[in-house]
Chains A and B, each alone.
Chain A
Amino acid sequence: MSRELVLAVAIGYLLALFAIAFVVERSNKLGKLTGSSLVYTLSLAVYCSSWTFNGGVGRAAQNGFDFLPIYLGPTLAFILGPILIRRMLRISKANNITSIADLIGARFGRSAGVAALVTVIAVVGLIPYIALQLKSIAQGFAVLTLTSPDPAHQPLIFDGALWAAAILTIFAMLFGSRSIHPGEHHPGMVVAIAAESILKLLSLTIIGLFVVYGLFHGFGDLFGKAAANPEVAQLFAYSPERYGFSWIAMTFLAMVAAFCLPRQFQVMVVENVDERHLDRAIWQFPLYLLLINLFVLPIAVAGRLLLPGNANPDNLVLALPLIGNQPLLALIAFLGGVSAAASMVVVETTALSIMVCNDVVMPALLRVKSLGLAQRSDLTRLLLWVRRGVMIIVMALGYLYMRHDSAQVALVSIGLMSFVAVAQFAPALVGGLFWRGATKAGAIAGISAGFLVWVYTLLLPSFTQPPIIANFVAVGPFGIDLLRPYALFGLTGLDPVTHATFWSLLANFGALLGVSMLGRQRAVERAQAALFVDADNSGEAAQIWRRTALIPDLHALATRFLGRDRTDAAFASWAGDRGLDPATAVQADAETVLFYERLLASVIGAASARVLVGAIVEEEPLGVDEVMRILDETQRVLEANRNLEEKSLALQAATAELQEANTRLKELDRLKDDFVATVNHELRTPLASIRAFSEILRDHPQLGDSERLEFLAIVIAESERLTRLIGQLLHLSKIEATGTMPVRSELVDLTAVVRESSAAMRQVFAGANVALDIDIAPGSAQVIGDHDRLVQVLINLLGNAVKFSPRGAGRATLSLRSAGGEIELAVADNGPGIRASDRDAVFDRFRQLGDAMGDKPEGVGLGLAISQRIVAQHGGRIWIEDNEGGGAVFKIRLGAAPIAAQ
């Protein structure tokens, strides 16, 4: 194919992408595309750069499955998405974070130093990665146009990599730095990347299908031939030690890279518009990675089988369609590779330019007073040009690095080098998010130590040009064997990447932990640490510092970076939320200052914003008075909370009482029904008997006198029983109707009550031949109450006692004694006793235990019910116990009358 055609197709493709981005940013309807979780997921696939597209296949052709850890790692990271990534998202949203450098800087006291350090490492670490993309495009271009990729063989104007670098720089500027958006959202770029992700996947799948079904007869045929070829079959041979530390290190690096790479952070955190998209992405993104890798191994195997051994393995994806005489497919493969490279370069340079601009250049420029930047009226153009400049520099460095040692290092190895560099952010980032004790000094020490080890063990040895470096790799500096970069301290047997991963992260973690534990945190650091670690229930940090300023000053400052309209709108909405009047508010409180700082941070980063706001804000730590006032307020809030709690408890208690009353009412209702039925029965029985005997007397005049007298006696007895029953019923209903019936409250001497009732019953006892003992303990026994009622109770109990005592051998005791503040009356008998289960029931109306025994005792069954109510009216209680010698004891306790009343 001709150079011009390939170049035109590639540029045409990129222009189409830019058109998509342009339309998305202009159109309201398409602009909402970023609100879809699918677009979010596809934009995350910017992870798959040309390294996936060409390098993965190359690695698979040489080493078998070694390419996979790079995709298994992000899968692992995303499983933990709801824990780790969500926290990054929340904190970044709350603080208007614009890059990973910003996030780490903000965590460690909004420190410009930490942010700048992270930025420098990111730039240095990622230049090889960008070089890799250029190299890959240049190689693809060379394969397609059948030219040599080495510029030594042709004029510079035909150098594919240079063209690629220039075109991609222009596109990066168009996508990433066209205008300043608050929050650094680039919806057009995100949608374009999502489109590219679809194309990458389609392109690799089409090539895969063509290879498997076009060049071979399906998977069976392909793998069958692979098994037959001893050299290829050796890739799959069983060996218990085939994959070791290198596999684990790569999985770990990729896992960390999934959130530490600036471009991943950009699409995952900064461009995220809805936190819920993450829930989808945590399984859809790994699914995308799985799909795009399905055909990598088959393509690699086919390449090994069909291409000569000396072919560059990184070009297999392009070379195979050419072998099959399918130039169109080769072009599709080329476009897939360009897609992968372009999206990576555009997002990475955008992210890097934001970092460099916000965390290095602007803070530095703002500090130089002589430039007078803080007084300039419009700084948005300056910001844009700084970013464009950074993009050009980054791309130029990438190109130079690539030219410096092209050819000898495979794509994957270069990429892994960058992974180790960005992995240095992980300890400070993860530690900062989950460990309150991580300090700024610890973070700086950790990141620097890790980075220096990376430079020494990975970056320096990658330059093979000056012989002095090659020499130093081979024998160590000054011939010190222990310091050889690839075998530091004599650690051998690991490949350079695994070796560097181990030493750099060891140094990094060690320094972070050691320095953090030994050092102390400043107040602002502690505040930020608390805010980050407790992100899930964060309050505001504003109260740690008392900062005051004039709103017009702050507003003017923000206007310079965001433009008047955006600043006015943002402040109006915020003032509305706070109930401030934008027209009259002049004095800014701490919250307002924080608002402006965050607004600025959304454009120029936290570190720069802090420098700027700090210049016009009076800042001092809170004095004791202020702290006391805050504590006081907290105290009041707590108090109010406690009151509320108490009220709700009271309410709960009232509800419970009501419920209880309700059940009691229901129970009473049921009892009333029983009562009516029983009364009905009890009244009818004597009435029926009276009627029956009266009828006999009327109808049988011939009855003898003795019989007639007997029947009359029964009629009289039944009438008396009826009278008694009615009297007691009236009595009971009176007690029940009045509840706490007006007991006559007079001073009652219980001794007299006992004597009176026992005298009344003496005759009955004598008649039944039951002995009655009276046992009155000495001392006063006075209660407040109704003398006659109490006599009635005792007579009732004595009547029961005589009823149940055995004739002849019966013995009952009526005793009186004082028990503490109460006076106890007890009536004991030596009858059959009462079962424990029946002891409550005997106090029910009409309950007669005699029923069960067959002979119906005399009495109507109301006596105990009435007695219980009378005792209750006196504020006392009545219950039954076992008598020691068999039988039952009825006990009554009444409160003793107060001494004064006696």
Chain B
Amino acid sequence: MLRRAARRDRLIGLFILAVLLFNPPILNLFGGFVFGWPALYIYLFVAWAVIIAGVAFVVERNAPATDERGNRVP
């Protein structure tokens, strides 16, 4: 139960972080071109990927091992 609560708290933390990163005013800090690429293009996709990786890390680390059919692997 404790682990589940910790996971919930981490996801809420990630949610708040994502809300901040994905929205103005923070994203308005990026503009123009960096190394010939649009800065905002790079920023948004990197931030997005980082958040997804964070969520995957949180949910997969504590998930019980299951095979494709959802049976528990011994």
For B37, give its contact among A80, A219, A238 (CB under 8 Å).
Answer: A219
**Number of chain A residues whose Cβ lies closer than 8 Å to a Cβ of chain B:** 47
Question: Is A146 in the interface zone, CB < 8 Å from B?
Answer: no
Given contacts A83-B8, A223-B38, contact A290 B22 (CB under 8 A): no
> Which residues of B, 1-57, contact A by the 8 Å Cβ criterion?
7-8, 11-12, 14-15, 18-19, 22-25, 27-33, 36-41, 44-45, 48-49, 51-53, 55-56
What's the nearest-Cβ distance from chain A to residue B61, in Å?
11
Given contacts A79-B55, A80-B11, A239-B31, contact A297 B38 (CB under 8 A): yes
Q: Is the CB of B18 within 8 A of A83?
A: no
What's the nearest-Cβ distance from chain B to residue A576, in Å?
24
A297 to B39, CA, bound (A): 13
Q: What residue of chain B has the Cβ atom nearest to residue A233's Cβ?
A: B33
A226 to B31, CA, bound (A): 14
Question: Is A442 in the interface zone, CB < 8 Å from B?
Answer: no
| Interface-side segment among A276-284, A414-422, A779-787, A803-811 | A276-284
Q: Is the CB of A82 within 8 A of B59?
A: yes
Question: Is A622 in the interface zone, CB < 8 Å from B?
Answer: no
- Chain A residue contacts of B23, Cβ below 8 A: 247-248, 251
What's the nearest-Cβ distance from chain A to residue B50, in Å?
11
Question: Is B70 in the interface zone, CB < 8 Å from A?
Answer: yes
Question: Is B63 in the interface zone, CB < 8 Å from A?
Answer: yes
Given contacts A79-B51, A223-B38, contact A238 B22 (CB under 8 A): no
Q: Is the CB of B52 within 8 A of A287?
A: yes
| Interface-side segment among A68-76, A120-128, A585-593, A840-848 | A68-76
Given contacts A79-B14, A241-B28, A242-B31, contact A294 B45 (CB under 8 A): yes
Question: Is A336 in the interface zone, CB < 8 Å from B?
Answer: no
Secondary structure dominating the interface of A: helix
A251 to B44, CA, bound (A): 13
> Which residues of A, 251-284, contact B by the 8 Å Cβ criterion?
251, 274, 276-277, 279, 282-283
A244 to B28, CA, bound (A): 9
A12 to B73, CA, bound (A): 42
What's the nearest-Cβ distance from chain B to residue A31, in Å?
12
Question: Is A22 in the interface zone, CB < 8 Å from B?
Answer: no
Question: Is A493 in the interface zone, CB < 8 Å from B?
Answer: no
What's the nearest-Cβ distance from chain A to residue B43, in Å?
10
Q: What residue of chain A has the Cβ atom nearest to residue B31's Cβ?
A: A238
Q: What residue of chain B has the Cβ atom nearest to residue A79's Cβ?
A: B15
- Chain A residue contacts of B59, Cβ below 8 A: 82, 279, 282-283
Contact indicator per residue, chain A 203-229, by CB within 8 Å of chain B (1) or not (0): 000000000000000011001101100
Q: What residue of chain B has the Cβ atom nearest to residue A241's Cβ?
A: B28
Q: Is the CB of B40 within 8 A of A236?
A: yes
Q: Is the CB of A80 within 8 A of B24?
A: no
Q: Is the CB of A238 within 8 A of B32?
A: yes
- Chain B residue contacts of A220, Cβ below 8 A: 36
Question: Is A240 in the interface zone, CB < 8 Å from B?
Answer: yes
For A76, give its contact among B7, B8, B19 (CB under 8 Å).
Answer: B19
Q: Is the CB of A286 within 8 A of B8?
A: no
Question: Is A243 in the interface zone, CB < 8 Å from B?
Answer: yes
Q: Is the CB of A76 within 8 A of B69?
A: no
Q: What residue of chain B has the Cβ atom nearest to residue A35's Cβ?
A: B69
A276 to B60, CA, bound (A): 11
For A227, give its contact among B33, B40, B56 (CB under 8 Å).
Answer: B33
- Chain B residue contacts of A219, Cβ below 8 A: 37
Q: What residue of chain B has the Cβ atom nearest to residue A290's Cβ?
A: B48
A69 to B70, CA, bound (A): 33
What's the nearest-Cβ distance from chain B to residue A303, in Å?
15
Q: Is the CB of B63 within 8 A of A290?
A: no
Q: Is the CB of B32 within 8 A of A279?
A: no
Extra contacts, 16 of them, besides A76-B15, A236-B38, A238-B39 (Cβ < 8 A), are A32-B69, A36-B69, A72-B44, A76-B22, A79-B55, A227-B33, A227-B36, A236-B31, A238-B32, A274-B70, A279-B63, A282-B55, A282-B59, A286-B52, A290-B52, A297-B41
Binding site for B on A (CB under 8 A): 32, 35-37, 64-65, 68-69, 72, 75-76, 78-80, 82-83, 219-220, 223-224, 226-227, 233, 235-244, 247-248, 251, 274, 276-277, 279, 282-283, 286-287, 290, 294, 297
Provide 9 A-B residue pairs closer than 8 Å at the C-beta atoms, listed in order of the A residue: A36-B68, A37-B68, A64-B40, A219-B37, A236-B39, A236-B40, A282-B55, A283-B60, A290-B49
